[in-house]
Each structure stands twice: as structure tokens, then as C-alpha cells.
Amino acid sequence: MKTFRFGVIGCGLMGREFASTAARWMHLTDAKARPEIVAVCDTNTELMAWFQTHVPSVRQATTDYRELLANPEVDAIYCAVPHVLHAEFYTDIIKAGKHLLGEKPFGMDLSQNKAIMAVLAEHPDLIVRCSSEMPFFPGAQKVVAMAASGEMGDILEVEAGFLHSSDIDPDKPINWKRMEHVNGAYGCMGDLGMHVLHVPLRLGWRPDTLHANLVKRITERPDGKGNRVPCTTWDNATISSRVRTADQDFPLVLKTWRIAPGESNTWYIRILGMKKSAFFSTKQPRQWQWMDYQGSTQSWNTEDLGYGSVFPAITGKIFEFGFADAIQQMWAAFVDELAGGTANGFPCASPAEAAAHHAVLTAALQSGLENRVVSVDYD
């Protein structure tokens, strides 16, 4: 099996998820290739030490990502650093000729995303994708397949959301994700926007106008050193948009909420059509629901799916699928593309999709600030 040698830049929450997924690559039954992490970079040396302890293939550990990029052993990069660093790091990674799975939002704002896209245009040979794992849940795949079949009839409404609640605690210490100068002016939309837009954009559903309600409830947080400091990011965003395609015209509602009482990591999508409707939420991770209206009974069906993954795995189909599995499926899609495959028909979010999501979030930010309907500019 071909091996792609990876460098990980940013060894925090998500960097370690990749290490875990790569370590259990034997979980996948027909992978064409596998990732091997050979180099790591973080300014926090304790986190690099974690990699050196748990990932025996790591041969380079550096606090300077440029040293990692100069390593000829490294074929591809996973970059999971704070948003303010995306543009500089991603453009340097691409210029170094390395394939890249970059974390969302793929640039802290529109201009930084454009800078990444400009450099990428000069390196069409590289496989570059944006991280977004939730659509790899089997239930999400069922919803996508039903929508793509064109059998749902006239779409009445689509709602997609990502809901968290830990920020409801005003005493939760601040981190970079609540600082506008590090996380970006999008706030919660930059954290969660790619997650909620990935499927609509994949289905060709681009909002052309929108109105956003932005909510900022927590304005200060403890800094962990006995002080309270400004908490500057938007907590919640509800975007009400309009999608017009050649044969559809419907509302698309997007919710990116950091303060959604009771929710821990709920990603969901609901598509309501005149003929068929479908719903999946990670709250019930093994189930999806759908309705097939034939002119008489209106009855929602619920199906337990188990482990019916895009990339086959050793887990029996009766067993449950979870977050770590979605991460691994996303990685399987990326590595499959590196190996010349088609990602079994569902590639990771593309740079073009990430750019389109920036267009939507930029319009949403403007709309929220000015409280008016804004057209989305995809130029």
C-alpha cells in the first residue's frame, strides 16, 4: 500500500485527532494508501512531545513551520492552527509544493481566502482540500443522496445548523476562538460556517441573498489569570438566505450557534420537499429520517443505519458511527485523492467550496452589522 508522509502543523485538538485516525488506519478495509506522520510543528513543545511519545514515525519536531516545509520527506500537510495564521501558513505550504488538508475557515476572512486561492491557482497539480467531516456520517450521506437524486420535488426549505452550548457558561475561560483578532470578525460563523455550508454548496445550492441575525451575549470572560477580559466574537448567527437555481427557489436557513442551550456538538440538516423530505442530526447519530409523500399518507420514517460508511471499515454495519469515525472517513477521502482515487464519490470540501462559503459569511457579517438584506458576491 502506498504511503504518504505527512507533516502536522498545529498539534492541538485537531492535530491529535489526525494522529489518532492515522494510527488506526487498519480500520479501513480497502484503502489505496495510508498516511504516516513523519514531522510535527507547534509553538507548544509539550504538544509536540505528545506526538513524539505516541507516534513513533515522527522524525522531525520543530517550532518553525518553515523548517517542516523544507523537509523533503514530507509529501503532504495537515494544518490546524488559529484562523489568523491560515493565509500565511497555507500559502507557504502550497508554495513549498506540499499537498494540503487545511482546517476551515481556510483564511480568517475573504481577503485572506483570496490570497490562498491566488497561490493555489499557480499550483493546480496539488491536492488541496478544506476540512469538514460531518457530512461523512452515514445519515448525512443518506440525506445528500436523496437530495442529489432530484426526487424531492420542489424544495420548500433547507435548514442546516451546528450547535454548541459550552459558551453559555460566562466563567468559561477565554481562548483564541473568542478573540476577534485571532479568530476573525466572522466569530462563530468562521468556526462553524463551513460545516453548515458544505452540503448545500456540494448540492449546488448557493444563497444569492441573505439576512443574518448576529448575537453577542457574553462580552467578557476570565483570562485564567484572575482577570476578566473582553470576549469579542459573535456567539450565535442565524442566516436566512434565498437559493435560486435553474429549477428551484427556496429559503436556506443556516445556524452557527456557540450558545445553543443543551447542545454539545449537534450538526444537522433538514431538507423539506413537496415529494420527499429528509433529516439527519448527530444528536441521533445512527438514524436518519425521511418522508416519501405519494399523495396520501404523510409519515416520517426512521432508519437505524449503523456503520454504513463511504469508505468500508472493519466495524460491522450493526454498530454505531461517531465523531472519530467521521474524521477518519474525511481523511480516507483525502488520502484516496492523493492516491489518484475519486474519494468514493464524496471528496472533502474543495477550495472552491471554501471560497464560496467565505462569500456567504462576508455577506452575512455585513448583513448582521447593517441589519439589511445583502446579495452574496461570488466573484
Ligand X SMILES: NC(=O)c1ccc[n+]([C@@H]2O[C@H](COP(=O)([O-])OP(=O)(O)OC[C@H]3O[C@@H](n4cnc5c(N)ncnc54)[C@H](O)[C@@H]3O)[C@@H](O)[C@H]2O)c1
| 198 touches ligand X (CB under 6 A) | no
Position among 191, 336, 337, 353 found at the interface with ligand X (CB under 6 A): 191
Position among 103, 109, 167, 325 found at the interface with ligand X (CB under 6 A): 103
Position among 19, 33, 41, 74 found at the interface with ligand X (CB under 6 A): 41
Q: Fill in the per-residue mask, 108 to 147: x = in contact with ligand X (CB under 6 A), - = not in contact.
A: -----------------------x-x--------------
Residue 103 or 353: the one with the smaller Cβ distance to ligand X is 103
Going along 285-332, which residue ranges are E strands?
287-292, 301-304
| 43 touches ligand X (CB under 6 A) | yes
| 42 touches ligand X (CB under 6 A) | yes
Size of the site for ligand X (CB under 6 A): 22
Relative to beta strand 249-257, strand 266-273 is: unpaired
| CB atoms inside a 10 Å sphere around CB 127 | 18
Residue 325 or 374: the one with the smaller Cβ distance to ligand X is 325
Cell of 351: 477550495
Helix axes 188-202, 138-148, angle to 10 degrees: 50
Chain residues 65-84 in contact with ligand X, contact rule CB under 6 A = 65, 80-83
Position among 104, 164, 198, 358 found at the interface with ligand X (CB under 6 A): 104
| 7 touches ligand X (CB under 6 A) | no
In terms of Cα–Cα distance, which of 139, 133, 162, 154 is closest to 278? 139
Residue 367: which residues within 8 A CB-CB, separation 6 or more? 210, 211, 212, 239, 373, 374
In terms of Cα–Cα distance, which of 93, 104, 99 is closest to 135? 104
In terms of Cα–Cα distance, which of 220, 198, 349 is closest to 268? 198
| 328 touches ligand X (CB under 6 A) | no
Three-class secondary structure of residue 278 per DSSP: strand
Position among 14, 31, 69, 146 found at the interface with ligand X (CB under 6 A): 14
Distance CA 197, CA 261 (A): 22
Which stretch, 3-11, 18-26, 143-151, 357-365, contacts ligand X (CB under 6 A)? 3-11
| 13 touches ligand X (CB under 6 A) | yes
Residues near ligand X (CB under 6 A) are 9-14, 41-44, 47, 65, 80-83, 85, 103-104, 131, 133, 191
